[in-house]
Structure 1
Amino acid sequence: ERLAKDPDQVYKLVLKESEEEAKVSDENLVSILARKLQERNVRLSRYFGSIREDDADIVSNLQEQEADAVTRAIEIIRNRVDQYGVSEPSIQKQGARRIIVELPGIAKEEEAKRLLQGSALLEFKLLREPDFTFQIMTQVNNVLAKSLSNDSTLFADSTLANDTTNANLSEEEFAKKNPFFALARLVDQQGRTADAVVKDKDKQRLLSYLNRPEVLNVIPDNVEFVFGAKPFGSQDGEDFYSLYLVNKAPELTGGVIADAQATIDPNTTEPVVNMQMNSDGAREWARITGSNVGKRCAVMLDGYIYTAPTIQEKIPSGSSRISGMADLNEAKLLEIVLKAGALPAPVDIIEERTVGPSLGQDSISQGLNSTLISYFLIAVFMIFYYKKAGTIADFTLFFTITCIMGILAGFNATLTMPGIAGIILTIGMGVDANVIIYERIREEIATGKTIKAAVDSGFAQSFSAIFDSNITTFFTGVILYQFGSGPIQGFALTLMIGIVASLFSALVVTRVFFDIMVAKGYKINVG
């Protein structure tokens, strides 16, 4: 809808129908929208592009923008998930406009939903002057009073203070005479501010009033009514929302935010998010604050106002802050979405599935069984082929697996199937180093060297081959982790940890066992 120029009621109706059809169809939204407009004999140039462009060119351009929006949304969601700290997430595109997100090990599902759905559209908008705002409110109130004069069902339960001209009216009479002010009561009757408060239960009714065609006709096109993001309570326990009138055009957007940091305000002990703008944003912010000293600037996120402070002086540093969060966790979530950037289009969760512990445990059990079987087969082969030395190799291999599991546990990593695959690959690579060492020792013994000399020479001569093969694999793991995502990163991380652990086990732990056996005069049998 934001791409359309001058969208009217026909366009909004067609767009809504197209969105509903797109939910159950494989056809992309742009094609459905173009088809429905053509059925109504409406050219696409009425809402998109220029009058000289034909429908085919406009559809092609819109489809490119749609595909680009989905691609950018995937990258932004991935950035948010990575900063949130999910282990091995899977984020994939499905069809033209759907994204599948798999988040293993998530404890707070609602928080994860907010992380994914929040558009993070940050805007800085100026509040209109109290006199102008009150004038618009009065016009809206008069139009509603005339339009609803025959509505016998209208009733507003309000306990806020009435103005002096309506002090003697009953609540029902006041609601009929002032339908707008019955729901949105002014905070300051003296007119120093035009902020209004609306009961939570009256919020939807007021929105329906503001969207009536006759009301939209009296509200200037360059302003809009916006609610506060968070409710606040009263003495009787009811929740209220603040209502503001702001300019539609933002003075500045969140694209200039270079950094965000959630913290506790030492003066008020409230959670806040401090933001720092880039050089262009700081320069523009200095101009805006310098030319609007004494006015109020609303900090809006996803269409709701979090705070609306008065500009006291010019701010040349490019710093600003958002307050109004319930707790520090919510502030940290806001920090993440601000750092990752705004989504190019709204994201709705159309399907949600939770894989229970039983299904997850089945997958892990199968992976662990594969690991145990591979370890058992390798252990039997090593003992059969290398005799006593094979037993040492089996112990060092067990030590390697223990190290990997310990490191993963230390970082609270989630054990997934790609991670188990990395462990299984490490088992093969770990025993490969022992095979190279043992074969080298056998060659040295065949030349007539003593056991001690053969062991020393075997480890020394095999070091370069073992190190070179492992370091090249390690670099491959680094590349996979850097450019991969989700399960690929999990596999790469486990592989890199396993390589380091297997190198230590083969070159240090195995050598210690051989040195002890040589020192004590034990016979070393390498097959």
Structure 2
Amino acid sequence: MLYNLNIRWILIFSILMASIYFIMPSYELYTIKSDPELQDINTDHLSEDAIQLGLDLKGGLYIVLELDYLTYLLQQANEKLSFNKRIDLESIISESINNALNNQTDVLYELERLSNENNIALISYYSNLFRSPTERHNLDVIELLGNNRKDSMLSILEIMRNRIEDHNQYGMGEPSIQQLGADRMIIELAGISDVSKAKDYVQRTAEFQLTLVENLQVFKDLIFQIDQNHKRDYKLQYQLIPTANRMLAVDSDYDIINQILDSNKSILGDKYDILWSNEAFLGPEGQLMRELSLVRSKPAISSGQIKESRALISEFGNDDAGNWIVNLDMTTEGKVKWSRFTGNNIGRRVAIILDNVIYMAPTIQAKISSGGTRITGFKDKQEAQDIASVLKAGELPAPINVVQINYIGPSLGQDSIASGTLSMMIGLLLVFIFMVFYYNLSGLIATCALLINMLLVFAILITMDAVLTLPGIAGLLLTIGMTVDANIIIFERIREELLISKSIQSAVHTGYNRAFLTILDANITTLITACVLSFIGSGPIKGFATTLSIGILCSMFTAIFVTKTIFLTFIDYFKIKKLSI
């Protein structure tokens, strides 16, 4: 079938028209953006279908994350520590963190130094890290904490990449994630401008819990004790509003209530936590209200028991029909625990908690043996998908804090981008001149194939929702050379065939057939390298590999199929007697 020239041309024109169709929105978008007189035109409808520029060409957010040492080192400590001993450890860690900031040193180094100076035995806090904790020195504890920190940072790096996989499926520029030192990492998000959402998304620990909500009377008793323990004029018992089974607060009092609760943790001890709901609502007097709940510190289900999470729209017939929800499936262990927990607490409320925020607290109506549950109360599709994504990627092994977040413009600048475009055009022109000068009309055919190859590569990148970065452009430039190189091999083979007095048609067929294996071998070896880079690499490296892989496949099509079709057309339809090569 592919020996029929009409079918070959139909295939080529169909692919060419499809490529132009996908490229046109990008051409229109960047033509409008580059013309100051057209800035008033709305381009939102074009942006969705156009190729996106990466952080180094377009700009975006530059985020520096740092390990939350206070929370992390407390998590590493023995769970059986008394409340007072845990408070002592918190004080030691806080002082070590301050010393590290002042002296520009490592927190673990300062923790060891402070412990040695004050004759503090760290093994008394971290005995759980050793099988035989006897005769362990502070240096042993610090070395083990250092190894655990290294493993935790590697896990955070991997989870972060998985977490944003849906937004960066092909690694073309968002995000670029890399570790910086022992306890920091850098994330670059191309084309992102919403600082608040980006910060919340990357900083989520994804600590998921299902835990029991205590009854209102126990909550009131604890509030009374807290009020007696602090000397502020603001008293919780007069400011909080108890309802039938809920405790409400005015949303504007959020900060002062948190300050009071933080300074009175000893009253709650290890048994309870007081947490806020995720959303405020309008009260009867027009004030924004938010619910507070007293929950058990020890959860019935945690992140480790979640097997799968999916964001979807609730089906018709449910109370939240039409709203976005996240469905959760549990592991075998989680199903057993959930079944036992719901069976023992029918009629009581269970809090669904993510990163210490309550998303909902429904009443348990019956024993749930299926191991499935769902989270509701999301503002929109994006929030539901974000939470499903972080739950699917897994809980971070250690909490992280955003220490720096900046908008950054194109690292090349508009002048550099223009210079890069000019350089590419000059390169194409020089290749064009060389091919036409050395191979005459055949060189012109090869140049046409090269232009078609560029169109195909851009069209495929656009259909993949790729983000074009500098490494991606480098991959494109490399494919230009590979496309021309394939044609040079073919043309030289045809020349050899013509020298032994073969007919033009026979020389073309033989030249393409004999050059095919050489071109195929060369491209396969390059393609293997690109695939390795794609699977092992990340960010810019993966973007370069993706562009290179597409360019290789497209160059095989244009250099072999397209150019041969043009040659056969000249031979069969125009009956040429001499080949200009």
Could you tell me the TM-score, scaled by structure 1's length? 0.87
Task: From the superposition, tell whether residues 469 and 218 of structure 1 become closer, same or farther in structure 2 (CA, over 3 Å).
Answer: closer
1:442 and 2:509 matched = no
Q: Which residue of 1 aligns with 2:144?
A: 61
Amino acid aligned to 1:238: Q
Shift of 1:363: 5.0
Q: Which residue of 2 aligns with 1:247?
A: 296
8 Å CA contact retained: 1:76, 1:343: yes
Letter in 2 for 1:258: K
Alignment match of 1:342 (pick from 389, 395, 398) = 395
Change (3 A) 1:90 1:218: closer
User: 120, 124, 131: which one pairs with 1:42?
Assistant: 120
Match for residue 169 of structure 1?
none
2:249 counterpart letter in structure 1: V
Out of 279, 295, 299, the position equivalent to 1:230 is 279
- Percent identity over the alignment is 36
Map of 2:240 onto structure 1: 184
Superposed CA offset, 1:143-189 (max 9, x none): 24xx53xx6xx25xxxxxxxxxxxxxxxxxxxxxxx2211222112x
Q: 1:410 aligns with which of 456, 463, 466?
A: 463
Alignment of 1:376 with 2:429, yes or no, is: yes
Amino acid at match of 2:576: Y
Match of residue 419 from structure 1: 472
What are the within-5 Å matches in structure 2 for residues 254-333 of structure 1?
A: 254-265=303-314, 266=316, 267=318, 268=320, 269-333=322-386
Matches for 1:445-460 after TM superposition, within 5 Å: 445-460=498-513
Match of residue 85 from structure 1: 168
Partner of 1:3: 76
Q: CA deviation at 1:423?
A: 0.7
Per the alignment, residue 32 of structure 1 pairs with 110
Is 2:349–2:363's contact at 8 Å kept on the other side of the alignment? yes
The 1:76–1:232 alpha-carbon spacing in structure 2 relative to 1, beyond 3 Å, is same
CA distance in 1, matches of 2:114, 2:332: 45
Deviates more, 1:222-231 or 1:66-75: 222-231
Aligned to 2:199: 113
Contact 1:276 1:319 in 2 (8 A): yes
- Aligned to 1:37, the other structure's residue is in SS state helix
- The residue number in structure 1 matching 2:71 is none
Structure 2 CA distance for aligned equivalents of residues 345 and 454 of structure 1: 67
Q: Distance in 1 between matches of 2:403 and 2:89?
A: 24
Distance between the aligned counterparts of 1:310 and 1:334, measured in 2?
23
Q: CA shift at 1:9, angstroms?
A: 4.0
Partner of 1:128: 214
Cα distance, 1:440–1:216 mapped onto 2, change above 3 Å: closer
**Contact between 1:474 and 1:499, CA under 8 Å: does it hold in 2?**
yes
**How many residue pairs get matched?**
490
- C-alpha distance in structure 2 between counterparts of 1:309 and 1:12, whole Å: 34
| Equivalent-residue separation in structure 2 for 1:414 and 1:24 (angstroms) | 41
Is the 1:367–1:420 contact (alpha carbons within 8 Å) kept by the matching residues of 2?
A: no
Name the stretch that deviates more: 234-243 or 417-426. 234-243
**Residues 9, 405 of structure 1: alpha-carbon distance in 2 compared, 3 angstrom cutoff:** same
Q: 1:73 aligns with which of 156, 164, 178?
A: 156
CA root-mean-square deviation: 2.2
1:249 CA displacement: 0.9
Residue of structure 2 in register with 1:521 after alignment = 575
Q: Sort the Cα spacing of 1:413 and 1:43 in 2 relative to 1 into closer, same or farther, 3 A.
A: same
SS where residue 103 of structure 1 aligns? strand
Q: Is the 2:308–2:330 contact (alpha carbons within 8 Å) kept by the matching residues of 1? A: yes
- 1:106-150 per-residue CA deviation (whole Å, 9 max, x = no partner) reads 244432222211111001111123443343334334x24xx53xx
Q: Which runs of 4+ in 1 moved over 6 A?
A: none
2:485 to 432, 454, 469: 432
CA distance in 1, matches of 2:104, 2:274: 37
SS in 1 for 2:286: coil
What whole-Å deviation, never above 9, does each CA across 1:396-450 have from its counterpart, x for those lacking one?
Answer: 1111112111222333322111101111111111111111111111111111111
Mean alpha-carbon deviation: is it higher for 266-275 or for 119-128? 266-275
- Distance in 2, Cα, partners of 1:216 & 1:409: 54
Please report how far the alpha carbon of residue 386 of structure 1 lies from its aligned counterpart in structure 2 after TM superposition: 1.3
Q: Which residues of structure 2 form unaligned runs of 5+?
A: 1-73, 128-132
For 2:60, the equivalent position in structure 1 comes to none
Letter in 2 for 1:38: N
- Structure 2 residue identity aligned to 1:414: V
Instruction: Report the more deviating stretch, 8-17 or 462-471.
Output: 8-17
- CA shift for structure 1 position 256: 1.9
Q: What SS does structure 2 have at the residue aligned with 1:425?
A: helix
Higher relative contact order (CA 8 A, sep 6+): 2
